């Protein structure tokens, strides 16, 4: 890797009524939606720090979701192995809340390194995010997408890029919902939770 100024992490899975483990023995939503973004960011962070300057600052974004408002942080169940699998918004929301928290904590940690961080909800878009579920579950999920203000993939891409490329967005750690700065789940403002989650991820 040469110079790197911008990193946009985007990954997501919705799994309903089942627990799927990865080869690392982690629940698949936890690993794909959250830990993978966290790990990739850490692996590239030194490169970004060496690349940026006051004139050419760095930007790091983690894709979250409006489902972060349904999430909670249970340090006894970060791996999502207990309960609530009937409610996809709960387990999925937990992982997306984690991304909001990590983006804010990372922003605090790199605040003197000419790097700003963001988390964002690109909007409700039809993707293959639920492909691991049953056909019936997918039909229900796609119906919910359609009635929830579905936008196009192109609109979602613009919403994803806006916080990163807008010259107006200089404050680090902020959450954007379809390009608009909003307050996330109030848990994201708990710095004690943020530090504990960060440390847990690093173990």
CATH number at residue 41: 3.40.50.720
Q: Is the full-model pTM beyond 0.75?
A: yes
Both tokens of 167, joined, read 């010259």
Query: Among residues 154, 172, 151, which one has the least CA distance to residue 66?
Result: 151
Is 92 designated active site? yes
Number of domains in the chain: 1
Q: What percent of the chain has pLDDT over 70?
A: 83
N residues, the chain: 203
Number of CB atoms found within 10 A of residue 193's CB: 17
Number of CB atoms found within 10 A of residue 49's CB: 14
Interval 72-87: pLDDT, tens: 999 998 888 776 655 6
How high is the pLDDT of residue 136? 44
Inside any domain, residue 47: yes
Q: Which of 69, 92, 118, 175 is catalytic?
A: 92
Inside any domain, residue 1: no
- Is 193's pLDDT higher than 60? yes
Interval 31-53: pLDDT, tens: 999 999 999 999 999 999 999 99
Which residue has better confidence, 184 or 169?
A: 184
Phi-psi region at 117: left, alpha or beta (left = phi > 0; alpha = psi -120 to 50): beta
Interval 100-125: pLDDT, tens: 999 999 999 999 999 999 999 997 76
Which residue has better confidence, 28 or 42?
A: 42
**Can you give the residue range of the structural domain that contains 123?**
6-202
Neighbouring-strand partners of residue 8: 61
Alpha-helix runs per DSSP H in 52-166: 88-109, 135-146, 153-165
Looking at residue 188, the DSSP 8-state letter turns out to be: G
Q: What is the mean pLDDT of residues 89-96?
A: 87
Inside any domain, residue 32: yes
Average pLDDT along the chain: 87
């Amino acid at each position: 890797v040469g110079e790197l100024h911008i990193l946009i992490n985007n990954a997501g899975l919705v799994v309903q009524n089942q627990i799927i483990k990865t080869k690392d023995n982690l629940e698949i939503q936890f690993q794909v939606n959250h830990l993978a973004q966290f790990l990739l960011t850490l692996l590239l962070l030194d490169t970004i720090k060496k690349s940026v300057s006051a004139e050419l600052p760095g930007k790091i974004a983690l894709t979250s979701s409006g489902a972060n408002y349904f999430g909670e942080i249970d340090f006894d169940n970060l791996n999502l192995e207990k309960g609530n699998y009937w409610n996809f918004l709960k387990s999925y929301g937990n992982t997306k809340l984690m991304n909001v928290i990590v983006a804010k904590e990372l922003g605090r940690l790199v605040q003197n390194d000419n790097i700003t961080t963001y988390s964002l909800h690109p909007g409700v878009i039809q993707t293959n995010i639920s492909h691991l579920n049953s056909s019936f579950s997918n039909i229900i999920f796609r119906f919910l997408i359609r009635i929830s203000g579905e936008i196009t993939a192109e609109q979602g891409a613009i919403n994803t890029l806006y916080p990163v490329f807008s010259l107006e967005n200089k404050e680090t750690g902020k959450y954007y919902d379809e390009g608009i700065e909003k307050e996330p789940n109030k848990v994201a403002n708990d710095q004690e939770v943020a530090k504990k989650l960060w440390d847990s991820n690093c173990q």
